[in-house]
Structure 1
Amino acid sequence: MPDAVELLRARITYDLAARCSEKQLRVIASVGFTAASVGLCFQLGADTTAALIAGIAWVALMGLVPVLVVGNRRYRAKYAARLRACGFTPVTDQSGRLRYVPPGRQLPGHGNPFTSRA
């Protein structure tokens, strides 16, 4: 039973980590970090010192974006390897996203539901 729970956790974790492409992750992080820096500037008071501090914070946060993307790539690879080791097969869904399905199964909505299975 614990193995089944860990396998389900690996599937969910992989799907959550792979729901956005790396380009989308960069855009989301960039917009979020920019908004946080602008908010910091307004919180500190809209003067030159506040703008300088917010600019330094923005540069530091933007420097984290490649680190976060590489970390997400490694995280996905770790769980993908665990799923492949358990016999799951990689399948590309209709939106082009890589998913892992259990052995002998296929993605929901694929195949003819009216055929008989032997």
Structure 2
Amino acid sequence: MSRKLERKMLRLLAGGGPVALGAGSASFRRLARLTLLAEQFGYAYADLRQGGTSFTLYLVPDLRPRARELAAENWSRYPRAAEGGPLPATDLDTYALLRARMLSDLERRYRKEVLWLISVPLVLVALDFGGDFGDGWHSVLTIAAVAWAGAVVLLLPFHVWGRRTARKSAALLEAAGFTRVPDGNGRLRHVPPGDEERPGPGVAGGRR
């Protein structure tokens, strides 16, 4: 994992407030490692969003007593963590759950955005195709509609894969005791047991 991204995150965590970390095109495993490292310093996963090919990882302070104790212990034990010093060890035992949460948070919005972005150029290509082979507007629109419909059919596997992934993620999270609740924007999300009141990324926009 990029040490530079780790150090950047730790500098933000040192501010003590909610954090929005631009993680570029990091893999889910890298994002999970970042989250697990943040947990060592008193933070918890809040959300993951995607714009184009870049991810933004949202983290919020974990106010549970044990989390605060762990944070104080690690900041004391690793005082130069944000400047290139040693870091506490992390493991990926909870990787499957973190990945499921991230996929669940991304899936609906990401699938809609991708379908929209793909559909617009498909319409333009279909109209151009119809213009090349059609004779008159009626013919052009008919050929364009058929071409567009055929292209949309090719996107159905992506749609099916997205829904299947969402179902698997939801089943894994619910089996682990996660609850599906609406956030401040009405978006349904899975949160850990007893975590329904934790603030969402709406308050996690500040970079410190």
TM over 0.5: yes
- Alignment CA distance shift 1:84-1:39 (3 Å): same
Output the CA distance in 2 between the equivalents of 1:6 and 1:30: 29
Given that 1:93 and 1:107 are in contact with CA atoms closer than 8 Å, whether structure 2 keeps it comes out as: no
Q: CA RMSD in A?
A: 3.5
1:47 aligns with 2:132: yes
Instruction: Tell me the secondary structure at the aligned position of residue 109 of structure 2.
Output: coil
The structural deviation recorded for 1:69 is: 4.0
Output the CA distance in 2 between the equivalents of 1:19 and 1:33: 15
Residue matched to 1:74: 164
Residue matched to 2:188: 98
Unaligned runs of 5+ residues in structure 2 are: 1-90, 135-139, 201-208
Residue matched to 2:122: 36
1:60 aligns with 2:140: no
Residue matched to 2:100: 10
Runs of 4+ in 1 over 6 A off after TM superposition: none
Output the CA distance in 2 between the equivalents of 1:30 and 1:89: 30
The structural deviation recorded for 1:63 is: 2.9
Output the CA distance in 1 between the equivalents of 2:172 and 2:162: 16
Q: Which has the higher helix share?
A: 1
TM value normalised by structure 1: 0.62
Q: Which has the higher strand share?
A: 2
Given that 2:130 and 2:143 are in contact with CA atoms closer than 8 Å, whether structure 1 keeps it comes out as: no
Q: Give the residue type in structure 1 aligned to 2:176.
A: C
Output the CA distance in 2 between the equivalents of 1:45 and 1:98: 41
Instruction: Tell me the secondary structure at the aligned position of residue 94 of structure 1.
Output: coil
- Alignment CA distance shift 1:13-1:30 (3 Å): closer
TM value normalised by structure 2: 0.39
Count of paired positions = 104
- Alignment CA distance shift 1:107-1:68 (3 Å): farther
- Alignment CA distance shift 1:31-1:19 (3 Å): closer
Question: Residues 72-116 of structure 1, C-alpha deviation per residue, up to 9 Å, x if partnerless?
Answer: 332211100100111111111122211111122125338xxxxxx
